[in-house]
Amino acid sequence: MKRSVNSSRSGQAKAIGAPTLLHWRFLLVLSVILLVFIGLGVRAAYIQVVSPDQLIQRGDNRTLRTRNDPVHRGLITDRNGQQLAVSVPVRAIWADPKKIAQGSGFSDKRRWLAFAEVLGQDVDTLIAKVDDPTKRFVYLQRQVSPAMAEYVEQLDLDGIYLRDESRRYYPTGEVSAHVIGFTNVDDQGIEGIEKLYNDWLTGTPGSRQIRRDGKGRQVEILATEEGKQAHNIQLTIDQRIQALAYKELKWAVGFYKATSASAVVTDVRTGEILALVNSPSYNPNNRQGVSAHRIRNRAVTDAYEPGSSVKPLAVLSALEFGSATPKSKINTSPGWMHLGGKIVRDARNYGELDLTDIIRHSSNMGTSKLALSVPKEYLIDMFYNVGLMSDSGANLLGETNGIFNERPRWSDFDIATLSFGYGISVTALQLARMYSILGDGGIKRPLSIVKSDQPPETERVISEQAAQDVLHMMESVLQEGGSARKAAVPGYRVAGKTGTSRKAIANGYGEEYVNIFAGVAPVSNPQLAVVILINEPKGDLYYAGDTAAPVFAKVMAGSLQMLNVAPDNKDVSSLAAVAGGHNAG
């Protein structure tokens, strides 16, 4: 009985021990679960309360986007509103090499071959550009046409994208290229007006910060930032006159086989530049293969000895100083003279000449004697006063002040050669300013190429009477016995002067010439000053009266008619010539 009792007790003890083990397991599992939830709670509290920025940033990276509002470069127009430079929308093709590597890569060879063909690139070279998965952005081609962009979109290549941008277009092409200049692929001005006024023409795009949903749709605008509007520029250029001057200049370069040519047309009353052209020129819309010398604005960068075109300054100096009057006679016999061991000579012996004849015959003897009749400083000051020793005030890119070597001592021969345009080099633009001053009765003002409501500062540098006297004298140059009868404009009184000078070389002068004709019209009420410069004409015609003068006549005649300037030459034969010319046209 005892053994059975013990056995019974022992069996009961084993039955009670099993639930105790299950109880501790339950507590252990429960503890682990509680610890996990506590850990998650602590982590959630840390992320959302203690340090929420990282979570917010990750969320924002998925939902926040910044959109830039497109902004186009400002317009450039002529004085009448004709567009000279505009911005047109284009696309840029770019690639995400990492996206390409993660996607189909280069498995579809046919599409990549078509893509390379439309870009005009070798397919292996193209693939090499986008074969680095560490990169996220690579430009493949900028400023592509809408048709090319549409074709690229249809190819639907992984990692190849398009973005909007703009390209500058110049409707007038080579006619106004030297004035307007051009921009680079990033729409930044690098020549001409485009560079000078780059900040004014360039705007800053506005932006919007938005929130989008999982499907990429905009659901909220969080912030906006206003951009800076691009400004337009209106030039003083009259594109009608610009086109006319370029047409005549281009013809002259070809006909006279010249190296280059320049022309400037100014309004003498305001100093506004109505035309500024050079030939040869270039197409700013396609500059591939264009050499640097074609891009240079020769009318403002290249300086030449002006020759006889500055002889009126010697006459003006004598009139202003009082050493001569309009009726004074100068003895030029025997047609030459020694000055400091050197000789000044005329083409022939003109004998006794009045001031008008000195200009008509372009007498070196006459202008030399007039220049030597005034103090040397007085003559040099006259060159400064008419703007031949300084910039024109137009603030054009690359403009030079010419070349003038001030000397502590001036010999008589130096003064004589200065009086007929040697020993000094000036640009076509500087000459245009000088003749504008003569045309406006001795009033000096800076030239301008950008329209402004502010009147320019003016200064009287020549007496009105002396300026008028010299203009009347220069009329004789285009009349019987003058050196530039081919510069005459039917129906209008024109005053002007030729300038034929040899180009300087080492130790002297060569056989190449520079031909200049500068003039003002109409003399009774001057409106326009025109300068024509032909550089290195070849062939039998190498005097300015045969090359620059005819071009001047066409440019001046067309410009006066375009501006509706009334004829002031009442001579019947002259007006008949005008009528005949219109009928022939």
How many angstroms separate the CA atoms of 340 and 354, rounded? 26
CATH number of the domain encompassing residue 578: 3.40.710.10
Closest by CA to 386, choosing from 263, 301, 268, is: 268
Query: The tokens of 259 are what?
Result: 């190296």
In a domain, 258, yes or no: yes
**Residue given tokens 């939830």 in the structure block:** 37
Contact between residue 428 and residue 278 where contact means Cβ atoms under 8 Å apart: no
**405 has a pLDDT exceeding 90:** no
**Residues 400, 300: contact at Cβ < 8 Å?**
yes
From 149-153, 320-324, 557-561, the region with the lowest mean pLDDT: 149-153
Report the catalytic residues: 308
482 in any annotated domain: yes
Q: Verify that 424 and 505 share a domain, yes or no.
A: yes
Q: Are residues 251 and 104 in the same domain?
A: no
- H/E element, 336: strand 336-339
Domain contains 554: yes
The CA distance from 323 to 317, in Å, is 9
Q: Are residues 368 and 314 in the same domain?
A: yes
Residues 161, 266 within the same domain: no
Range of the domain at 442: 239-283+294-584
Region 248-259: mean pLDDT is: 95
Cα–Cα nearest to 383, from 347, 419, 348, 352: 419
Q: What's the whole-number mean pLDDT along residues 400-416?
A: 88
Cα–Cα distance for residue pair 489/243, rounded to 1 Å:
19
pLDDT of 585 > 60? The answer is no
Give me 549's structure tokens.
């003068």
pLDDT of residue 289: 85
315 and 227 in a common domain = no
Domain at 191, CATH number: 3.90.1310.10
- Does residue 55 carry a pLDDT above 70? no
- Amino acid residing at 199: D
Whether residues 442 and 423 fall in one domain: yes
CA atoms within 13 A on the CB side of 420: 22
Whether 31 is in a domain gets the answer: no
Question: Which of the four pLDDT bands, split at 50, 70 and 90, describes residue 89?
Answer: confident
Give the total number of structural domains in the chain: 2
Do 379 and 510 share a structural domain? yes
pLDDT of residue 581: 45
Q: CA-to-CA distance for 490 and 470, rounded, in angstroms? A: 21
Residue 29 lies in a domain: no
Query: Are 207 and 330 within one domain?
Result: no
Give residue 424's Cα distance to chain centre: 27
Kindly report which listed range (46-50, 176-180, 194-198, 237-241) carries the lowest average pLDDT score: 46-50
Distances (CA, A) of 293 to 38, 57, 192, 279, 302: 80, 55, 14, 11, 11
Q: What is the DSSP string of 399-426?
A: ----EE---SS--HHHHHHHHTT-SEEB
Beta strand pairing status for 76-77 and 233-234? parallel
Average pLDDT (191-208) is 85
**224 and 340 fall within a common domain:** no
